[in-house]
Structure 1
Amino acid sequence: MTLLRPRYWPGHLAMLVCVALATGLGLWQFDAWQTRRDDAARDVSKNPAVALATVMTGDSPFPGRDLGRPVTFKGTWIGGNAYVADRYVEGKRGYWVVTPVLVDGGDSAMLVVRGWSPKPDVPAPTGQAKVTGWLQATEGSGPFDEDPTDEVIPTMRIASLVEKVDSDLYSGYVVAKAYSGETVVEGDAAPPDLALKPVTPDAVPPVSGFTALRNLLYAIEWWVFAAFALFVWVRWCRDTLNPPEEPEPEPQT
């Protein structure tokens, strides 16, 4: 058979490589889409708290399967507070109070949402910290920060606080359920004017599902590439078996 001759093997091999590669990449993206959907459907917020180091490190990407998982860690409070604007508690508009903790055993800081305040004027804790809370992912795009030099940010985006903290940051943050420090700002020990209202996981904006949808679209795109490679191979085979007839030369006068 003509197409089985050695001279045509490189064309067949190129088709197999292109189709296999595009199909495999499509399956990989499809699996990522399914995994993200499964992660979004899991609720681990009521699980027992685990050590932060068993979930992620300062250098690792955010673990999607552990979104909302209770974690605990120790460290040192560093720097001052940042405030996330337009956060509501009991219908009142105010701010999330965010303070970084340099986690023991590393050189990265975890941002901790300590609570809610009606005004951005809460003293920052100092000294040793022990934090227990829910692990959360950075928020996506949002309002533009009109004044990057102040302590107020419009959304809880890790990138917005990189230049405000003298340390590398974890790729997520923790909404505190309980914490300790030399400046106590919760419970009966706190002066009434310094008491912060707690923030719960229910108050955290949902993570955008665009990333998962993007994985599905990438999978479809790769499969389209595989189909196109197969189409080109079929056309090549057809043209090889039935080459187009060359036009007859016109008679000379």
Structure 2
Amino acid sequence: MLRTLFSPRLFALHAVTIGLLVVFVMFGIWQMGEFEESGRPRAAADPAPVAVARLSAPGEPLHSESIARQVTAEGEFEAARQLLVPGRYEDGKKGFWLLAPLRMDDRTTIPVVRGWIATADDPAVAVPSGRVQVVGRLRASEPTDAVPRRDQILPAGQVATVSTGELVNLWPGVRLREGYVVQTSGSAAVPVTVAPPTMPTEFDWRNLAYAAQWWIFGAFGVFMWFHFVRDAVRGAAKSERGAAPA
């Protein structure tokens, strides 16, 4: 039987089958990768900065297309109301966000994340005085489910989340615009990394079908290889029995 399995004709069949099987499996993996890639969000158009007042208003939720847009805001920071947001990471390091209210000309306020610092006594904590123009990206208000439990109360001057619903209580007497701006330039603190806007995409199901097709070809090749080998072994055995002396 071993002599039949490793005869030149069947050995060539084994080699061809293995080669085709590797090719079919690799093509299937490639198409599966294309299928997974097709469903990943794509970078959307990143228009020039617009005034934050065009995208955010007090008491009105942000539209999805406004999130991560580049915006500008002019006014004065209220230094006495600046807060630290602990547990924020930048470049793999844990630290704080600097969160300050920016009072605009129309007497509304937009929360601004001025940047990231490693320690609470970093010199960048100092808030710029006078009129400033902030350039950054607009983000949606964070959920408040990250607020610490009663046994994990934060020190005074710190807040767990950048949430409009929480900030209205911490900054009484202000008209808060929805969301917050992550300042991307012009701050003494380390800029917080924020991704540009993305757009959802749909899976290309054809790639999944192509992957299945290649793997079916591979399975069929193994099926045919098995039948060829089985028939060859049976034929050799029959020949040996016929050639044996009576």
State the TM-score bracket (shorter-chain normalisation): 0.5 to 0.7
Shift of the alpha carbon at 1:171?
A: 1.2
Instruction: Please list, as runs of the form range in 1=range in 2, the aligned pairs for 1:18-33 lying within 5 A after superposition.
Output: none
Shift of the alpha carbon at 1:65?
A: 1.7
Is the alpha carbon distance of 1:50 and 1:43 closer, same or farther for their aligned partners in structure 2, counting shifts above 3 Å? farther
Instruction: Please list, as runs of the form range in 1=range in 2, the aligned pairs for 1:40-189 lying within 5 A after superposition.
Output: 43=43, 46-78=46-78, 79-104=80-105, 106-121=106-121, 122-145=125-148, 146-147=152-153, 150-165=156-171, 166-179=173-186, 185-186=187-188
Find the aligned partners of 1:80 and 1:45 in 2 and give their Cα distance: 35
RMSD over aligned Cα atoms: 2.7
Find the aligned partners of 1:159 and 1:107 in 2 and give their Cα distance: 19
Shift of the alpha carbon at 1:42?
A: 7.2
Match of 1:189 in 2: none
AA of the residue aligned to 1:164 = L
Higher relative CO (Cα under 8 Å, sequence separation at least 6) belongs to 2
AA of the residue aligned to 2:46 = K
Find the aligned partners of 2:45 and 2:113 in 1 and give their Cα distance: 16
Task: From the two aligned structures, give the one with the greater helix fraction.
Answer: 2
Match of 1:229 in 2: none
Shift of the alpha carbon at 1:112?
A: 0.5
Is the alpha carbon distance of 1:147 and 1:127 closer, same or farther for their aligned partners in structure 2, counting shifts above 3 Å? farther
Shift of the alpha carbon at 1:81?
A: 1.6
Q: What is the aligned length?
A: 150
Asked whether the 8 Å contact 2:68–2:195 carries over to 1, the reply is: no
Shift of the alpha carbon at 1:45?
A: 7.3
Find the aligned partners of 2:156 and 2:44 in 1 and give their Cα distance: 35
Match of 1:215 in 2: none
Instruction: Please list, as runs of the form range in 1=range in 2, the aligned pairs for 1:208-227 lying within 5 A after superposition.
Output: none
**Structure 2, unaligned runs of 5 or more:** 1-40, 199-246
Find the aligned partners of 1:140 and 1:90 in 2 and give their Cα distance: 23
Name which of 188, 201, 211 aligns with 2:194.
201
Is the alpha carbon distance of 1:45 and 1:137 closer, same or farther for their aligned partners in structure 2, counting shifts above 3 Å? farther
Find the aligned partners of 1:75 and 1:130 in 2 and give their Cα distance: 7
Instruction: Name the % identity.
Output: 29
**Structure 1, unaligned runs of 5 or more:** 1-40, 180-184, 187-195, 207-253
CA offsets per residue over residues 4-25 of structure 1, 9 Å max, x none? xxxxxxxxxxxxxxxxxxxxxx
Shift of the alpha carbon at 1:47?
A: 2.1
Find the aligned partners of 1:51 and 1:45 in 2 and give their Cα distance: 17
AA of the residue aligned to 1:201 = V
Asked whether the 8 Å contact 1:133–1:176 carries over to 2, the reply is: yes
Asked which structure has the greater CA Rg, the reply is 2
Q: For structure 1, which segment, 145-154 or 111-120, has the greater mean C-alpha deviation from structure 2 after superposition?
A: 145-154
Q: TM-score, normalised by structure 1?
A: 0.53
Q: TM-score, normalised by structure 2?
A: 0.54
